[in-house]
Amino acid sequence: MSTISRIGVFTSGGDAPGMNACIRAVVRSAISNQLQVYGIMRGFQGMIDDEFLPLTSRSVSNIIQRGGTMLKTARSIDFLTPEGRKKAYNNLKKHQIDAIVAIGGDGTFTGAEVFTKEYPDIRIVGIPGTIDNDLAGTDFTIGFDTAVNTTIEAIDKIRDTAASHNRCFFIEVMGRDSGCIALWAGVAGGAEAILLPELDTDINSLVKKLEDGSKRNKSSCIVIVAEGEKNGGAQNVANQVKSRLPDYETKVTVLGHVQRGGSPTAFDRILATKCGLNAIEALLAGENRVMIGIRNNKMQLTPFANAVKQHDPLDQSLFRMIDTLAI
């Protein structure tokens, strides 16, 4: 096993609150272990374009509370080609970088898996940074908790106006392939129904639930719709409900990218810090092609291939809460 003396760190894919806290932990943990650190701007694309920035402890001061990512992020088409990956490798060797900490989601780890197979002398350890919480091998991803809290704050405000006007609001939240944000925010926000990509939604059943609520004199309701839900999003669902319940007053709110921004919660800052420190320790121990995750409050390693190809099932107990409490 070769030793390492200089590492790179980058963020890739969609930004997530807590990425800056993670960068800070990686940099300072690496420095405390006598490693030099380079930040790679804009993920894999910056690796190809030779956007490398030496980082010191002071470089990451006053960022733990900031959303987004100081290293920027991008999705790289060039990295999908052997020529692009070769250029990235040459730039890493030019800067004498032995190992990388990659902060991102399934696309990031898929790219890292391919790269390390082609160039095994560069070790990569991944950290799960995505609001979607859709990686196997970890109970939580960095940014998920903040995104859920941002969503709940919006739901609470919308419920105030829904109750004032006797309306039913269909609130679309992020989640093209994963319903985690919708499920958690829906339960915490007291939603009457939650529509997810993982489940086929029966519009007739939804209409009956809303009708039953109206018969019980419910003056308003909240329906949470993940953007990847199979009926085509909140507006399409609202239109179908309206066609069956023409006297029902419906409104649609699409929260969009507001869920990505904002200062990370304490939970996300602590998770990011734990992951950053453990990533450096893993690299020093010779680990490669693995993701740092947290299971039952303990840090663990999961191979990239398993993290991106397997998905943990949604918490069925949360579904029971909706069925029991939304009356």
Q: What is the pLDDT of residues 151-161, one digit of tens each?
A: 999 999 999 98
φ, ψ of residue 299 in degrees (nearest 5): -75, 140
Q: 144-165 and 266-284 helices cross at what angle (nearest 10)? A: 160
pLDDT digits (tens, 9 = 90+) for 65-100: 999 999 999 989 999 999 999 999 999 999 999 999
Measured distance CA(242)–CA(83) in Å, rounded: 52
pLDDT digits (tens, 9 = 90+) for 226-239: 999 988 899 999 99
Per the structure block, which two tokens stand in for 327?
Answer: 């009356």
Dihedral (CA of 313, 314, 317, 323) sign = negative
- Give the pLDDT score at 2: 64
Catalytic center residues: 132
Residue with tokens 């100081």: 70
Q: What percent of the chain has pLDDT over 70?
A: 97
pLDDT digits (tens, 9 = 90+) for 176-185: 889 999 999 9
Strands 52-55 and 123-128 come out as: unpaired
Q: Which residue has the higher pLDDT, 129 or 211?
A: 129
Domains annotated on the chain, with CATH = 6-143+264-309 (3.40.50.450), 147-260 (3.40.50.460)
pLDDT digits (tens, 9 = 90+) for 16-74: 999 999 999 999 999 999 999 999 999 999 999 999 999 999 999 999 999 999 999 99
Per the structure block, which two tokens stand in for 283?
Answer: 């690299």
pLDDT digits (tens, 9 = 90+) for 282-309: 999 999 999 999 999 999 999 999 998 7
The H or E element containing residue 185 is helix 180-188
Is residue 223 scored above 90 in pLDDT? yes
Per the structure block, which two tokens stand in for 218?
Answer: 């419910």
Confidence bin at 213 (pLDDT 50/70/90): confident
